[in-house]
Chain A
Amino acid sequence: MTDHHVTRKGFSWTTILARAAIIVAVLAGPARAAATTASFDDANRAYAEGHYGTAITDFESLVRARGWSAPLLYDLGNAYAQAGRIGPAVLSYERARVLAPRNADVAANLAYVRAHAGLPSHPAAWYQIASGYLSVTGWTWLAVIALWLAAASLLAARRWHWRRLVHVGVVALLLGVAGVSAIAVSEQGLNRAVVVANKSAAVRVSPFDGALSESSLSEGEVVAVLGRHGDFVHVRDSRGRAGWVQSSTVQAIVPRTS
């Protein structure tokens, strides 16, 4: 009996604490948002007034304070582009595309900056275009929900012999498979990095400082990350050439520890 009471009491306190945390979060949320909204406005005002360095600093501080958002990364990319820093501009646009892959402005400004910098562009395959219909996060949740629905429908159809649920389950299963396929395609794009080195980055044949430099990558070029060794990253550019570059000269589009 005593144990039973302790259990009920503990559950009750847990519930109270959880509800209190929710209330605090709800109350603190708008204040925090209001406090940082001013900074976002300040950054946009600095951009509008042509103070791109200030705008970059403000946008970056927002990223550090609140995280990532597609408009924020897009604006940051614009500020970098106006400041003439092609690499960080492309990086910001690519990151914005991770969150908002179908946004026309991100695509337009990314294409403009790439063309302005003389960077090579390659048309995307149909499956890449299709996978860009949703973000990776969107595809993930679509797949999870679809597979859950498929499983639940098929189980329910078997349990209660309701044939219509079989159709629902099949459709959901197809959606789930499509989602998983899109994730697989998008997954390739997540292992990419952007050259942020000023002007260019030397590509070496091996991951050592004294290694022969066989070519160079232009600032803003997007490369696939194949591996890492010490302070070097093994990359492959859009022309299929692979080599090692200093890790400080490239930045992952999707940071592992973001």
Chain B
Amino acid sequence: MSAMQAKHKTMLGLAATAWGLAMSLVASAALADTDANAQIRPSRISLGQSAELRVPAKSGRAPALPQVDGLHFQQMGQRSEMRDINGVVSKQDWILYRVVADRPGKFDIPIGPRPLAFEVTPAGASTASAASQAARPSPASASPAQRGSSEGPLAFLRVRLPNKKMFIGQAVPVTFKAYFRAGTEVTLAGAPSLGASAFTVGNLDDSPHQSVETIDGVPYRVATWTGQISAAMSGKFTTHATLPIIARYRVAPRQPAADPFTSMFDDDEDVFSSSPSAMLRSFMKHSSFGGDLDDMFGQVREREMTLRARAQGIQVQPLPRTGQPSNFGGAVGRFDVRTRLAPSTGIAFSPMTLTIEVSGQGNLDRVAVAGLPASADWKTYPPSAKQSAPGNKSFEQAVVPQRGGHLELPAISLSYFDPEQKRYITRSSTPIDVEVAAAPTGSPVPTFAATSPRPVSKPAAGLRPNRVDEGRFVATLLPPYRRAWFWPVVTAPWLVLAAGVTRSRVRHHSARSHRRATKETIDRYRQAMKGAVAAEDTQRFYEAAAAGLCIRLGQIWHMHPDDVTAAEAAARLGPGDASIVAVLSAAEQLRYGAAVAEPASLAGLKASIDQRLEQLEVRS
């Protein structure tokens, strides 16, 4: 049993050893097979795209590639891989190529023991994805196979303008097409520009449409932008369209001039861009892309450049003055205007939204509408432009019905200039009939003032509506009596009145005192007259009588008693007062020493003067 077991063990050991040897041989064969085969990924691309070809390097050098009609190979670099198979570590070097195609079709690449199958589908099938990758670098430098047979520029820019004559404000379509020969590695550094300050470029695509075109048998990748240009002024102008790009190229380490563009253009970008065709031909001949394979492992450099299109002349005409409608706002093109109201039924004093939609062809940026004017039925606010779809521009206007009932929203008019018909056209929307319910009874119209307008907005969430009348503004909420000016203003009239009363009282008191003193003085002179009559002293009588009369008359005439003379009295008094004038005249004569005639009766004269003094006292 043990001998049998030992024999079986020996056989199993031999079988295991044989299996192991067999597997080792299979693995070695498989490894050798893998090392020898080239690979292409992906095996199917769209025209304009590229694939990666991996070819095993031999003695560290790239193998010679076969020429395949319709395919171009562009060396990308080298890659090394370390493998560990059954404990055996090996190194594999790969040469990497980028493969681009001139045309769609099925290709067999005769490399290695078996040809590699490769298929290129038409570009239309991959347009969308290509366009989305427009900003990515294009395929790099041309392959050695292409270099010898390539003709024409590497890149150039074209601008297509269907109209060379246009009106101010007219929107004219424009197409920028940038051509990059297959194999050039270029990154777009910006959007194309028309290069004329009189024009504005609008609606330009953010991402260009990418396609492939063949010109004179040379395939080009084409980036296309479409947009509109509009002129802001009239006259003749010349466009100088440009497109900034970034070109990538490799610099061979063994070349004395590391930067091929340095020797070509002396760092003068304008020289590069002034003649793109000639320049790019020179670029093709002098750049490192035309060198040997050893040069391909050099340094990658980038350079900013500008493509310039051929100059074109455009004539811009001003808009005609004749026939221009009063509501023309600068719109040029062909438009239609429609309105809609939301909600379709309203409530008095509740805001509604009037949407004015302008659609058509033309420069919508210049389209502006005045909106619905305010009326007795509608309170309106200025319209505001809203985001719109291409070829459409809408405005929203808040309108507030001012009463309930059946209201009509008038038509909205839009005037524009039609550049094709060369005349102004006015379009109007259809009037809108709207049923407006009365304002809720629970929300009466606020009454800040008797003449105040009605509210603008509907009570939202239980709030009563806003007011549209500003009301009377005040500088402060403080009551008047807390302000500095209040008390002086209020008390000043009182103080003035009190001062006036006091002054009047003082004056009244003074006048009364004066009158009393005057009367006392006159009474004293009358007593003196009485004494003179008793003593029959004529001179003393005249002096006393004249003094009393002068005081009284001076009081009446607002004169000093000394200024009252016989002549003054004669001039002021009438003939009935001749006795008074005579007394004054006699007193003056006596004062100067002259003799006077004796009166018939001093007592009679005294009685007459007393009576006259009493009369004059009443007048005073």
Contacts and interface: CB of A to CB of B under 8 A. Distances in A.
B470 A71 contact: yes
A82 B470 contact: no
A112 B462 contact: yes
B351 A48 contact: yes
A67 B478 CA distance: 12
A146 interface: no
B493 A148 contact: yes
Given A68-B474, A98-B477, A82 B467 contact: no
A105 B464 contact: yes
B2 interface: no
Nearest to A116: B462
Interface string B369-386: 000000000000110000
A183 B473 CA distance: 21
Q: Which of B382, B464, B490 has the most CB of A within 10 A?
A: B464
Given A41-B468, A68-B474, A70-B448, A137 B457 contact: no
Contacts of B493: 148
Interface in A187-221: 187, 190
Interface in A57-83: 66-72, 74-75, 78, 81-82
Contacts of A136: 479
Q: Which of B472, B479, B493, B494 has the most CB of A within 10 A?
A: B479
Contacts of B452: 71
Interface in A19-74: 33, 36-37, 40-41, 44-45, 47-49, 66-72, 74
A78 B471 contact: no
Nearest to A148: B493
A125 interface: no
B592 interface: no
B381 to A, nearest CB: 4
Contacts of B467: 71, 74-75, 105
A140 B480 contact: yes
Contacts of A140: 479-481, 486
B475 interface: yes
Contacts of B465: 78
Contacts of A49: 351, 398
B5 interface: no
Contact of A254 (B464, B472, B473, B477): B477
B500 to A, nearest CB: 11
A6 interface: no
A252 to B, nearest CB: 9
A61 to B, nearest CB: 14
Interface residues of A, number: 50
Q: Which of A33, A70, A105 has the most CB of B within 10 A?
A: A105
A227 B444 CA distance: 40
Nearest to B396: A49
A157 to B, nearest CB: 15
A147 to B, nearest CB: 9
Contact of A69 (B382, B461, B473): B473
Given A81-B463, A137-B480, A140-B481, A69 B472 contact: yes
A174 interface: no
Contacts of A186: 479
Contacts of B474: 67-69, 99, 137
B479 A258 contact: no
A95 B448 contact: no
A69 B466 contact: no
Contact of B447 (A47, A103, A256): A103
Given A44-B456, A137-B480, A148-B493, A68 B466 contact: no
Nearest to B490: A144
B448 A104 contact: no
A183 B64 CA distance: 109
Contact of A100 (B351, B382, B448, B460): B448
Nearest to A50: B460
Contacts of B471: 69-72, 99
A71 B446 CA distance: 10
A36 B446 CA distance: 22
Contacts of B447: 103-104
A68 B481 contact: no
Interface string A239-258: 00000000000000111101
Given A81-B463, A82-B461, A104 B446 contact: yes
Contacts of B473: 66-69, 72
Contacts of B446: 74, 103-105
Interface in A85-142: 95, 98-100, 103-105, 108-109, 112-113, 116, 136-137, 140-141
B480 A141 contact: yes
B468 A44 contact: yes
B469 interface: yes
7 contacts: A40-B468, A41-B468, A74-B466, A105-B464, A183-B479, A183-B481, A255-B478
Given A47-B456, A148-B493, 6 more contacts: A33-B470, A82-B460, A109-B464, A137-B479, A137-B480, A186-B479
